[in-house]
Amino acid sequence: MNNRYGRLKIISKIWIFIVIFIVIISLSLIVLERTLHTTYELVKEVADTRLNELTATSKKTRQLAAISSDINRLTRTYSISNSLDEEGRQISEDLSLISEDIDNQLLSEKLESYSSAFDRFLIYAKNLRQLQGDFQLLFASAEEEITLLENLVSSWMIESALQGTDIDYYDQLLSLITGYRESFLIIDKKKTEYITASDPDNYESSDLYNELYSLHLRLQTITASMPEVAVHGRKLAQYVQQYKNHVKALKKELTSLLNVLQQLADSESSLHQLVSQSEREAALSAEQIKDEIDLLFIDVLARMGMFMLIMVLMIIGTMYYMLRLHIEKPLKTLTGVVSDIGADHLDKAIILGRDDEWKIIENALNEMSKKLAKSYAELQVSQASYQALVNNVPGIVYSCQNDSNWTMEYLSDEFCDLTGYDTSEVLNNREISYSEIIHPDDRREVENNVNKAVQQGRPFTLEYRIIKRDGEIRWVFEQGRAIEYLSDSNKTLNGIILDVTQQKQLMDALAESETRYRLLLEHTTEGIFGFDENGVTTFINQAASEMLGYKAEEVVGSNNHHLIHHSMPDGTAIPEEECCMMRPIKDGNEYHVEDEVLWKKSGEPFPVEYWSAPIWGSEKVIGSVVSFHDISERKRSEQNMQHLAYHDLMTGLPNRVMFNMELKQVLAQYRRRDELFAVHLLDLDHFKEVNDRLGHPMGDKLLKQVAQRLLQAIRETDVLSRLGGDEFALIQRNLESVSDASYLASKILDVVNEEFLIDDNTIYIDTSIGIYIPETKTIKQEDVLSKADLALYKAKEAGRGMFTFFGDEMSLQMHNELSLSHDLIVALKQEEFFLQYQPQFDAVSQELCGIEALVRWNHPKRGVLKPIDFIRIAEKRGMIKQISDWVLYEACKQAKLWTDRHYRFGRIAINLCAKQVNDTMFQQSIENLLYITGLPATLLELEFTETVFMEATDDTKQSIRHLSNLGIHFAIDDFGTGFSSLSYLHRFKVDKLKIDKEFIHDVNQHRHDAEIAKAAIALGKSLALTVVAEGVETQEQVDFLLQHECDLLQGFLFGHPVSAEEFETKYLTKLVDA
């Protein structure tokens, strides 16, 4: 019974043990299943969440890098891009989409600032492209206007050539037109250089401004010409003014564009700093995932360990096997895999060989490992893009510890370029710390400012010096802030360091410039006003006070427009709202007014030219500044120039230009009202003999008295003009019959035939008159003068001292010209030409320092002829180059002969014609001539007229520069008599200016001649040129020229042109080198 009970008890205990074992096993399985399930869900949820965040961050980083690259490309190619609007709109939309997905408030604000700066860039870029289009339209309009003007003048020139009349005036007009076309081309080129220079503030001192100003002044010449020409001139002047206005707008837009590009760069730098911070936080999050997984599995292992310990104590044998088989082995495998994941070995697969819950964990961990591997690869690509972006930032991007040495943990590649140290030498203070690179005098201040900013939790900005590896000291600007990461109690400093040495130098220069500006403002001769936003005067300098007669206290604090009344040159008052001194305050634009009148305190008008510009505050105009200067002298000069343009300098009579204008008017009246008229052309007989016998001053006085007598002989309604030399023209109005013209011509012959008493000299001359009365209303203006000229020629042929009406027989003159042309051909063959030589003397020492060779023609019937008698015909008949080549050779040969005899004569000057200079063989022919004759190049001086210089081709310019380098000198002959632009003076290597005798004759009698001579001498001196005065015949002229520092003198007072033999005897025999 007991045994049975015992067996039952044992069996009961066994069953109880078995039941307990089963219960414990069941509970253990339940706990294990729930623990594993919780672990799986937690791991899966955390992994998926962090992977999604890393993927999104990586994607946004790549998008931002791509957009930044597109924006940088667009800022470089906006001026040539054909899809600026489309690309700009697409980039703006991409930025907007990225901004919507960003949760970081600071990053969102930086991105919004970046997008706003880009939008402003698009606006300014479009404005600049619009301005460039406007420039092209203006240039095309100017070119079209020049072409119209050129065609008009060419047509006139062709008609004149067909009629056989003088075409010199039209040649001069075409030279002007060519100069205008070249100036417009230069202006367009300078405009392009001005845009690409990226320095809009230097407009007033740029070549573009100078070219525009020069062209505007030169256009005044053509606007004073014939009405048909003047209308084109005024249009061209309007185009130039519009061009100047567009350049000012271009300057403003360029400045705005440069500012917004700087804002773009600043926004981009800030944005990439934030992105870098986000990348680091993402990397830190990945590390935290690994740590959390490790902690989670450690917790699971601890729970299982406790459970296994209890099971081991209860059922050591059975549970040991179960633990080893079902728990320990899979956990070891998982632990190894987790360690591999922590060591970045994401390519190893988990193989547990189970089909239970461990299989689910195995699959989950394998899937997580694949996703982590993919995310890690994307993160590496993102980091590479970020690194490339950081290396392109124009400065050092850094991250360092906040310690006494500023231990660097990261440095961009720019560090080496700026400091000369390799980044590996400085990272972690391996060889040198960044603190040691900072200038010793600045280290403490840098440390104090950084620590103070860190303590206050704000960004810091610093400016200090560093010492490069080579010892050079550079100024840098640093901006950064402290970042405190969750995993590190120490704060890290992140920021950027920029080289600002050049900016510091510029700031120092600016401070010095401001000091000079203040001194200049007080001592300049320009008047200067300053106004506030209400037009009240805030400043007036000393020059303005002196010019207007107001003291500073009388003007400052008052309304300038009301105090100093403004008006147009004709006296018309200017309303305040239209005053260009006040307008910059209202519209923010700059204005230039060339001619306006201010009124002095005394009530006198005061003509001025002024410039006004706005003074900008942070957001609006807060005032304006005006600078002005007195243009009284300029206006007087303009009036004088206007008078000179239409009147003869010597006699004061209307010149050829005004005569043509009057002739055009009487022709129109004749056609409309049948008001008949006659044209008389007068040529003084034997006037040349008076000049040769008594000298040019006496001849000039005779011309003046002749002009006075002619004026007394005609009516007030008649028009008397001097066409040049001893030639006069008369328009006789309101003619009733031919006898009226005959009566007047007879009266003129009588008054001219009377004796002239000049300086105790009694002079008798007569005059020949050619008269033309129009027979038909279809007569052309140029034909009127041609026919009167033919009548004059017939009067001279008939014996002089008489008048002749135009008739068909006047074609005899043409026959005479043909005869002289034939004689020229014979003269070249028969060697009828010969040379004479005239000396040039130093104005101070009176020493011989030059010779001019002059050609003469020993005509078998007409005697010795000067160039003026045959050069025009030679040019027409194409023989001028042959004659000029002969002169050049003979003069060089004679100069070499004198050199061989050791005579000291300076240089020999020879006049060249346009055909010689523009010949493609010009340079080679001169070099061959020097070789054949043996004359040293340094003894040769070549003279051209201004017209030849203006018409020179590019090959000719190159030839002149080459010959100048050989030692040949170049001179401008008859300076001031041509229609030209002074711009050729700096385009050619010119050594000498020769002032025409026309400006020398009356320097002591006429103020205008004196002023012109003084201006020519001053111009030559300012350009370091030798100045020669031609036609010097009196001691008074010499005294005037010496007073104004003229260099060389030439004229009858010092010697007439003579033969080579006489010249040698008279001047050279006493000037022999030892």
Q: Are 267 and 110 in contact (CB under 8 A)?
A: yes
Pair 455, 585 in one domain: no
Convert the pLDDT of each residue in 101-146 to its tens digit: 666 666 677 777 777 777 777 787 777 777 777 777 877 888 888 8
Residue 98 φ/ψ, nearest 5 degrees: -65, -40
Pair 939, 880 in one domain: yes
801 inside domain: yes
Q: What is the mean pLDDT of residues 42-70?
A: 63
Residue bearing tokens 């360690």: 339
Which of 235, 258, 281 lies at the terminal end of a domain, its last residue? Answer: 258
Q: Which residues contact 580 (CB under 8 A, 6 or more apart)?
A: 591, 593, 596, 610, 612
Per-residue confidence (pLDDT) for residue 877, from 0 to 100: 76
What percent of the chain lies above the pLDDT cut of 90?
A: 25
Per-residue confidence (pLDDT) for residue 901, from 0 to 100: 92
Give CA–CA dist 984/688, Å, rounded.
35
Convert the pLDDT of each residue in 576-620 to its tens digit: 777 888 888 888 899 898 888 888 888 788 888 888 899 888 788
- Lowest mean pLDDT: which of 6-10, 140-144, 194-198? 6-10
Q: Count of domains in the chain?
A: 5
**If we measure between CA atoms, which residue out of 595, 604, 801 comes closest to residue 683?**
801
Q: Are 433 and 447 in contact (CB under 8 A)?
A: no
Pair 165, 225 in one domain: yes
Per-residue confidence (pLDDT) for residue 663, from 0 to 100: 93
pTM over 0.85: no
62 inside domain: no
Q: What is the mean pLDDT of residues 481-510?
A: 80
Per-residue confidence (pLDDT) for residue 2, from 0 to 100: 43
Q: Which range is most confident: 202-206, 385-389, 968-972? A: 968-972
Q: What is the CA radius of gyration of the chain?
A: 49
Convert the pLDDT of each residue in 969-1004 to its tens digit: 999 887 766 544 455 566 667 889 898 888 888 888
Pair 682, 768 in one domain: yes
58 inside domain: no
Pair 752, 730 in one domain: yes
CATH no. for residue 593? 3.30.450.20
Per-residue confidence (pLDDT) for residue 44, from 0 to 100: 62
Convert the pLDDT of each residue in 565-585 to its tens digit: 666 766 677 777 778 888 888
Convert the pLDDT of each residue in 406-423 to its tens digit: 899 988 888 898 899 998
Positive or negative CA dihedral for 343, 346, 351, 352?
positive
Boundaries of domain holding 242: 129-258
Convert the pLDDT of each residue in 998-1021 to its tens digit: 888 888 888 878 888 888 888 888
Per-residue confidence (pLDDT) for residue 998, from 0 to 100: 83
Convert the pLDDT of each residue in 63-80 to its tens digit: 666 676 667 666 666 555
Convert the pLDDT of each residue in 854-883 to its tens digit: 999 999 988 999 998 888 788 867 888 999
55 inside domain: no
Per-residue confidence (pLDDT) for residue 1, from 0 to 100: 46
pLDDT bracket for residue 711 (50, 70, 90): very high
CATH no. for residue 749? 3.30.70.270
Pair 151, 204 in one domain: yes
Residue bearing tokens 């009405």: 227
Instruction: Assign 432 to helix, strand or coil.
Output: coil
- pLDDT top residue among 547 and 949: 547
CATH no. for residue 947? 3.20.20.450
Mean pLDDT over the full length of the chain: 80
- Asked if the model's pLDDT at residue 813 lies above 60, the reply is no
613 inside domain: yes
Pair 678, 803 in one domain: yes
- Asked if the model's pLDDT at residue 511 lies above 70, the reply is yes
CA distances (Å), origin 545, targets 200, 525, 548: 32, 11, 5
Which of 637, 656, 688 lies at the terminal end of a domain, its last residue? Answer: 637
**543: which 2 tokens?**
């020059």
pLDDT bracket for residue 534 (50, 70, 90): confident
Instruction: Name 855's bridge partners.
Output: 835
142 inside domain: yes
pLDDT bracket for residue 283 (50, 70, 90): low
Per-residue confidence (pLDDT) for residue 578, from 0 to 100: 75
Pair 560, 661 in one domain: no
CA distances (Å), origin 56, targets 59, 60, 66, 102, 244: 5, 6, 15, 10, 54
Per-residue confidence (pLDDT) for residue 914, from 0 to 100: 84
Per-residue confidence (pLDDT) for residue 46, from 0 to 100: 58
pLDDT bracket for residue 9 (50, 70, 90): very low
Pair 545, 497 in one domain: no
Instruction: Name 854's bridge partners.
Output: 836
Q: What is the mean pLDDT of residues 729-756?
A: 92
Q: Which residues contact 404 (CB under 8 A, 6 or more apart)?
A: 435, 447
Per-residue confidence (pLDDT) for residue 916, from 0 to 100: 87
Angle in degrees, CA 708, 714, 717, rounded to 5: 115
Convert the pLDDT of each residue in 914-931 to its tens digit: 888 888 898 999 999 999
512 inside domain: no
pLDDT bracket for residue 307 (50, 70, 90): low
Q: Are 663 and 720 in contact (CB under 8 A)?
A: no
Q: What is the mean pLDDT of residues 680-698?
A: 87
- Asked if the model's pLDDT at residue 708 lies above 70, the reply is yes
Per-residue confidence (pLDDT) for residue 4, from 0 to 100: 46
52 inside domain: no
Which of 241, 258, 275 lies at the terminal end of a domain, its last residue? Answer: 258
- Asked if the model's pLDDT at residue 7 lies above 50, the reply is no
CA distances (Å), origin 98, targets 65, 102, 380: 12, 7, 21
Pair 957, 1042 in one domain: yes
Pair 497, 536 in one domain: no
Pair 467, 533 in one domain: no
